Every structure is written in C-alpha cells, then in structure tokens.
Structure 1
Amino acid sequence: MADTAGDSCQNLREESARAVDNAKQLQDSAAAFISRSGTEEQSLRQRALAAESTIRKLRSSLDASVRRGTVDVGVAEKIEEELCKAGSIITDGDVASFLPSIDHGTFLKMFLGPINVRATRKDVQLKVKEEYNRYRDNTSFLFLIFPSALLLLRSWLWNGCFPVLAVQLYQAWLLFLYTSLALRENILRVNGSDIRPWWIYHHYCAMLMALVSLTWEIKGEPNCAHKQKGVQLFLAWAMMQGVAMLLQNRYQRQRLYTRIALGKAKRMDVVWGETAGVEGQLWLLYPILFILQGFEAYIGLSLLKTALVGVVSEWQVIVCGILLVVMAAGNFINTVETLMSKSRFKAKMKRSKSKQELDQGLPPCNSRLK
C-alpha cells in the first residue's frame, strides 16, 4: 500500500512538472507571436499610411492637371474613378484598422474612460453596426407604445391628468435611450461610420432635455389642462415620431444595401430619416419629416409661450422649449441640405448620362478623323 501511494505521488509530481513546462512553452510561443505580430502590424500601418498619402497626392496632381487643361476630362474621370476605388479598398476594407483612428471625443472618454473602442477586425465592426440597427428597430416600437399607453391611460384611468411618476419614468427611459444611442453612434464613428455630426449633437440635446424634464414639477392641480398641455403635445409628437421611424427603418435598410452595392456608401455607414428611401418613397417620407419638425418647433414655442404668460414659469419649461426649437431647426436644416445634395447629384447624373448618349450617337473617333 505504501509503495502504491508513493508511485501515485510521484506520478502527480511528474505530471505537475510537465504542466509547468507546457505552460512555460505556451507563454514563450505567445510572447514570440505577439512580438512578431506587433512588428508586422507596425509595418502594415506604415504601408497603409503611405498608400493613403499616395492616393491623396495623386488626387491633388489630377486636380491641378485638370485646372491647367493638360488632362482630358474623360481621362480625368476614369483616373478619379480608379483613385476612388483604391481609396475605398483602403478605408472600407481590413486595411482601415491600421489607419489612425478618429479621436474618441470627450463624450466617450467621459463615459468609458481612456479605452480604445476601435475594433481591429471587420466582422466585429459590422456586428457593432448590426446591433445598432437592431436597437433602432426595437426603439421604434417602444417610441410608439410608451406615449400611446400614457395618453390612453390619461383618458381612461387618470381623469385627464398625468401622474408625476408615470411621466418621470417615461423621461428616464428617454434619457437612457438617447444616451445609449449617442454612445453607440460615437463608437460607430470611431470605427469608420460616416454619421452626420448633427445627429449626435441632436441626441446630446435630447439627453439634456430628458434630464431637465425629470426635475420639472408637473402636478396637474389646480391647472391641469394648462400645466400639462406641453407634456400632452410632446407625447403626441413622440407617437408620430414612432410611426415615422417604423416607416423609415425598412426603407433605410434597403436603400443602404443598394448604395453599398453601387459603391456609394461603406458597409459601416448608417442612414437616418432624411437619407432614406428612393424616389417614390421620398414623396411619402419627406412630408412626414417636415410635419414632425414643424410640430416639434410648435411644441417648443408653446412651452416658451406658456412660460412667458406665467401659466407655468419654471426654468425647466424655458430650457425644454429652447431645446425643442433648436432640434427642430437643426433637423430642418439637415433635411434641406440633404435634399439639395440629392438634387445636385441627380443633375450631375443626368448630365453624365446625356454625355454618354451623345458619345454613343456619334461615329467612332477613327471614323471622324477619316
């Protein structure tokens, strides 16, 4: 029995020693791999920067040649197309992870600290984008359900007056929603997504408004109809926003996939309301967007008027009114800018198409020379 126990102990010691040796070998292999991959990564970073710089210099030289008239316009367009293709490969492919990342900004540093949220693998970046799209889809339903429930309960159960807790819970949800959207959009921007800066600023304003609203005393009595008119209008606007978001999401996804296939957008790009839809869909979406923006401005002005006439004179009413007007104006300006850019792009495409048809109708260059 003693010999058996001794053999068992000896076997355990030998296996433990082998486990330690195996761990040391694994550590050495991992350290060598990290060192080797670090060297290769640095080399790829230098090559990526050099390639990006070369493309930028070629574009500058091409522009200068076109201005001097030393390059034919048709040849210049073909060269520009090739340079765009090369730039797209670098900025939208796996090479993009080796380029210097966009500054994370104060907002991300304030919430997450000095950590790097840039994903080095393209599949991880695309998962972040898909999760963002899924979150927006789910938000559309909640944007419609929550205010609808509050308005229905106001009529059926609360005798025309909102209880303070119910409205504050809704405002707390809005604060969480806009904060999470702003965080996700900043992360997408760091990972190469071309999000318009206004939409991130818009969510900052919405966060501030939700935070201010949490401190707003909205007890209905004795002037329930006057005190809570702004809340009622805001909930009605939120319902309209939910309907618009439901209509947009499907159109946006289809339109973005089309633009990616045509090479007009990157796989990490996202779109918002004013960029959604194709020709027939835009006739439906743009009026809805303009109505929403006008209604949002009306609510803000109504709150300011309520504060000025003394019905509800709290500072929260003034701040929320100003923020609503600012957001409505910003949304309107961005929508109009997008419409103008679309019209300019369509006019350019029509001119290009007319030129191609004209060239096709003429005899070949050699025939004309004869």
Structure 2
Amino acid sequence: MACASLDLPAQALESASHKADLLLTQTRNLSSRARGYNQRVISESDALAEEVVGVSRALKRDLQAARVALQSDDRWEEVVNQLERAQGVLHGNGPAGDLRRYAKTRQPYVLSLLLGPSSNVVALRKDQSQQMKVDYHRFRNRSAYTMFAFAAVLQWGLRRTQALSESRDGVSMAPVLLVGVQLFVCWMLFYYVASALRESVLKLNGSHIRPWWIHHHYWAAGTSCLLLSLPVDSPTFRKAINGFLWWPMLQSVVILTQNRYQRRRMYTRIALGKNSTMDVVAGDGVGAHGQLVFLYPLLFLLQGLQVYLGGVMIKHSYWAMLRTEGYLNLENRDDDLWGNRGFFLAGCLMIFMAWNNFYNTVGSLVGLVAKKSKGGRRVTASVEDDD
C-alpha cells in the first residue's frame, strides 16, 4: 500500500510533464502558422495596394479623356458609363467595399494628432467595418436625444430663473443652472471631438463624407472650448446663453430627421449599387423626396439660426474689441470685457460655420439635381435609340 501511494505522485508528475510538452509543441506550431499567415497577409496586402493605385490612376486618366471626347461625340457615352461603373466599384459599390482602403492612405490630421502617425484604423474585415457604421448611427441617435433633452431643460430652467429674479420670489437656482450650462458645453465638446474621430475613421474605411462635415466638428469643438473659457458670472454670458441653447435643440431635430429619411433611402441606394455599403448619414445626405421637402428646409433653418445668433453676439459685443483695456493688462472686473470678447469671437465662428454649411448644402443639392438631370437625359437618349 505504501509503494502504491508513492507511485501516484510520480504518475501525476509524468502526466503533467507530458501535457506540458504537448502544449509547448502546440504553441510553437501555432506561432509558426501565425507568422506564415502574417507574411501572406502582408505580401497580399502590398500587392493589392499596388494594383489599386494603378487601377485608380488608369481610371482617372481614361475617364477624364472619355468625358472630353463625349463633348464632341455622343458615341463615347457608353464608354463613359462603363468607366463610371468601374469607378463606382473601386469606390465601394462592389462586394469587397471601398478598394481604396487597401492602398497606403495618409491618416487624417486629427487621428495622427491624437493616435500618432503610425496608427492603423482600417478594418479589412467587412463585418468589422459595418459594425463601425452601425455604432456611428447609434451614437448619433443617442447624442441627438441627449442634446435636445439637456438643452431644453437648461432653457426652461434659465427662463424660470430669470422670471424669479425679476419678481424676487423664491429660490432661482441660478448657480446650479450655470454649472449645468458648463457641463452641457463640456458634453458638446465631447460630442464634436467624438464625431470628428468616428467620421475620420469611417472615411478611411470607405465612407463618402465631404471633408467640410468633418472640419465643421473641429470648428464646433473650438467654439465649445471658447465658451468654456468664459466666466459664468458674466452678465453677457447669462444673457447670451439662453438664446444660444436654441441652436443645439434645433440641431438635434435635424440629426434625428437625417437619420429617419437618409438611412431608409440609403439602404435602397446601396441595394441598387448607387451608394457604398460604408456610406453613412451625413450633412449632404443621399437624396430623397422627403429629404427635399422636409430635411433641406430644416438644414437651411438651422443655418439661418446660426447666422442670426452669431449676428446678435457680434452686435452686442463688438464694442469690447475696440477697447484697449484687457489686452496687455488686467481688465476692470465690472467692464466684463472678456465675456463680451469671447462672445464676439463665438459669433464670428457661428457665422463662419453657417456659411460653410450653407455652401456645402447648396453644393450637395446642385449635385443631386445635376445627377438626376444627367440620368434623365441618358434614359431619354437610350429610349430614342431603341425607337
């Protein structure tokens, strides 16, 4: 019995040693397979990148030449159509998505600044890139509801505070609400930075987003930083922030409207091969009857409100920019120069963003009408040829 009990630990040790040898061999084989896989992926990726660059250059050259020839000879129309379809496949209308992501592309500035120039955010697996798009749309939806609710509560609270202050009846809760305004501006800063990052990543993965709609988030984030630097006890701040809150409320309505109209229309256009599977809801949209009737007026209304608010800020605070105090020495506390100067700069930024939003929205609308008109002319020409 004693010998048997002594043999058990020896057998357990031998079994454990055998399993350890097997696991060591298995992990070494797995590491060798992974190394071979990485080498194949790198080799194939380099070959794909070189071919994509070559095809892209050839398409651009031939399409430009064909369009020039089409101006003098209608027989070139079929060649142009074929080249445009080939360009659509290259840009994401094919089964593999946007092929340009396989080429060595330069990172957007914001990604290089925050993540480093060597970071790689391109997802080669289609399911991963699609999930990025789904997460982006969820982020927009959640942010729109948060933006509207936050701004509406602050708007109501500030109006109630003003009424109580004038009547001198009850507790106004003004300090708490002003802290809430600062928290809201912090959240807006987060929203614009996160939107810029997400849209930059999506653009690298094949989404067709106009550069301005990403740059707009940079300027909006800068405006949020400027508002955060203003003193909350400034009379100008308390007077101007009440009107400013209307802008994020209307912006949230526009975002929800975009999601309602554009996402439904986009699924149809993706199925027809007119949009890439990575295209997302953005400022320029995808064109639909509901969008033209309801969304574009809302966009123009939002831009008009931006101009109005910016003009009001400039009108009531431009005088502070003409004063010499506070530039090289400390300002008088009662003058509220920094508050007025901050809102003057914020007003200039609002008008600058509104003008660029308007310019790009009109450009998108003109491009949409031109594309429909071009498609209609081609359909008419093909019917006449059949007759």
TM over 0.5: yes
Distance change in 2, residues 1:130/1:229 (3 Å): same
CA contact (8 A) 1:118 1:190 kept: yes
Task: Tell me the residue number matched to 1:109.
Answer: 112
Question: Counterpart in 2 of 1:229?
Answer: 239
2:336 is equivalent to residue 332 of structure 1: no
User: Secondary structure of the equivalent of 2:49?
Assistant: helix
Q: Deviations over 1:226-283 (max 9, x none)?
A: 5423211111222122222222211011222233233322111223344355234412
Distance, in Å, in 2 between the alignment partners of 1:107 and 1:251 is 30
> Which residue pairs with 2:103 in the alignment?
100
**Identity fraction in percent:** 31
Q: Give the aligned partner of residue 82 of structure 1.
A: 82
1:5 counterpart = 2:9 = yes
For residue 167 of structure 1, what is the amino acid of its counterpart? V
Amino acid at match of 1:119: A
Identify the range of structure 1 (173-182 vs 337-346) with the bigger mean alpha-carbon deviation.
337-346
What amino acid is aligned across from residue 187 of structure 1 in structure 2? V
* Correspondence for 1:137: 141
Superposition deviation, residue 130 in structure 1: 1.4
CA RMSD of aligned residues (A): 2.5
**Which TM-score applies when normalising by structure 2?**
0.82
Structure 2 counterpart of 1:188, from 194, 202, 209: 202
Structure 1 unaligned spans of 5+: 363-370
Q: How does 1:301-340 map to 2 (within 5 A)?
A: 301-309=311-319, 313-314=337-338, 315-340=341-366
**Displacement of 1:349:** 3.0
Q: Cα gap change, 1:46/1:236 in structure 2, threshold over 3 Å: closer, same or farther?
A: closer
Q: Evaluate the alpha carbon distance shift between residue 286 and residue 49 of structure 1 in structure 2; reply closer, same or farther with a 3 A threshold.
A: closer
Secondary structure of the residue that 1:275 maps to in structure 2? coil
The structure 2 residue matched to 1:248, chosen from 258, 275, 282, is: 258
Aligned residue number for residue 217 of structure 1 = 231
Give the Cα separation in 1 of the matches to 2:237 and 2:299.
Answer: 28
Q: How many residues align?
A: 353
Counterpart secondary structure, 1:228: helix
- Kept in 2: contact 1:306–1:312 (CA 8 A): no
Task: Decide whether aligned partners of structure 1 residues 62 and 171 sit closer, same or farther in structure 2, where only a CA change above 3 A counts.
Answer: same
Residues 293-329 of structure 1 show CA distances to partners (whole Å, capped at 9, x for unaligned) of 1111111111112212458532321221111110111
Matching residue's letter, 2:222 = L
CA distance in 2, matches of 1:37, 1:309: 63
Question: In structure 2, what is the Cα distance between the partners aligned to 1:155 and 1:180?
Answer: 31
SS in 2 for 1:250: helix
1:109 is displaced (CA, Å) by: 1.3
Shift of residue 57, structure 1, vs aligned partner: 4.5
Are residue 203 (structure 1) and residue 217 (structure 2) matched? yes
Alignment of 1:335-354 (within 5 A): 335-354=361-380
Listed as ranges, the matches of 1:281-296 within 5 Å are 281-296=291-306
Q: Could you tell me which of 253, 262, 275 is aligned with 1:265? A: 275
2: distance between equivalents of 1:46 and 1:227? 56
- Name the aligned partner's letter for residue 313 of structure 1: L
| Alignment-derived partner of residue 74 in structure 2 | 73
Residue 147 of structure 1: SS of its match in structure 2? helix
Shift of 1:25: 2.1
| CA apart distance, 1:79 | 2.3
- CA separation in 2, counterparts of 1:18 and 1:191? 41
CA–CA distance in structure 1, aligned partners of residues 251 and 65 of structure 2 = 47
Partner of residue 365, structure 1: none
1:274·1:286 contact (CA, 8 Å) conserved in 2? no
CA contact (8 A) 2:193 2:217 kept: yes
> What letter matches 1:178 in structure 2?
Y
SS of alignment partner, residue 109 of structure 1: helix
Counterparts of 1:14-163 in structure 2, within 5 Å, are 14-63=18-67, 65-66=69-70, 73-74=74-75, 76-92=76-92, 93=94, 94=96, 96=99, 99-113=102-116, 114-156=118-160, 159=164, 162-163=174-175
Could you tell me whether the CA contact under 8 Å between 2:185 and 2:224 is conserved in 1?
yes
Residues 16-64 of structure 1 deviation map (CA, whole Å, 9 limit, x = unaligned):
2222222222222222333334333333334434443443444355346
Q: Which moved more, 1:327-336 or 1:260-269?
A: 260-269
